[in-house]
Amino acid sequence: MNIIFMRHGEATDNVKQIISDKEIYWSTLTTNGKKAVLESITFLPTIIDKIYVSPFPRTIETAHFLSERYPSAEAIINQKLHEIYYGKYSGKKNNPELDHVRMKQIDNDYFIRLGQYGENRYDIELRLCEFLNDIYVNNFSSNTVVIVSHGTIISYMKRILNIKTPHIKTGKVEEFIDVDFAPLFKCISKLKTVKSKKIKERFEQINKLQIN
């Protein structure tokens, strides 16, 4: 299967440099964002079979331009592709506390959250593994699919698939031919182990409290 990752074009909240993790914020493409998207899609292949889209206005708007160029491609809005939820930091600018959490997640802390009510690494990887498994099951090996989502979400998916390229810029595309899904299945297995270990730790903590 061929996968094309596309990050939405520059949007209004990108310009404001605020965390835009809710559909209701209605962060839409800027004029520059639309131009970048229209330019990027001219480099795409002749045939695209499916377009998977995050449910946010800026990603749907980006996918709209794709759909106009490829009217026969099936467009599917998928909730699992939504932006990372940042909890109490939603609608605010980046800050050192968030950077600290990100570093702990990179260091394999799967359960520290990005602010109260925000997602953790386990949440994010689980939903993206489920999404990637869905496209693996529901497409032919010869299919070319476009995934329109957010920068960090795309970076997560590339890490899951063991694709090592830089963080994608707004409005840009990356095409990968004959993607190997073996790393996905390894990630799914690892998440099961991580969950089992967490459950065991909680059980041991409860037992310790009861003994004391």
Q: What is the tens place of the pLDDT at every residue in 185-208?
A: 999 999 999 999 888 777 767 666
Give the 3-state secondary structure of residue 144. strand
Q: Averaged over 98-107, what is the pLDDT? A: 94
Cα(207)–Cα(139) distance, integer angstroms? 47
How many CB atoms are closer than 10 A to CB 27?
24
Question: How many residues are present in the chain?
Answer: 212
Q: Averaged over 132-141, what is the pLDDT? A: 97
Could you tell me the sign of the dihedral formed by the alpha carbons of 74, 1, 148, 82, in that order? Answer: positive
- What is the pLDDT at residue 146? 98
Beta sheet of 74-77, edge-to-edge order: 74-77, 50-53, 144-149, 2-7, 173-176
Q: Averaged over 126-134, what is the pLDDT? A: 98
Model confidence pLDDT, tens digit, residues 34-86? 999 999 999 999 999 999 999 999 999 999 999 999 999 999 999 999 999 99
- What is the pLDDT at residue 131? 98
Contact in structure between 205 and 191 (CB atoms under 8 Å): no
More confident residue, 168 or 202: 168
Q: What integer best gives the mean pLDDT of the chain?
A: 95
In this structure, which amino acid lies at residue 65? F
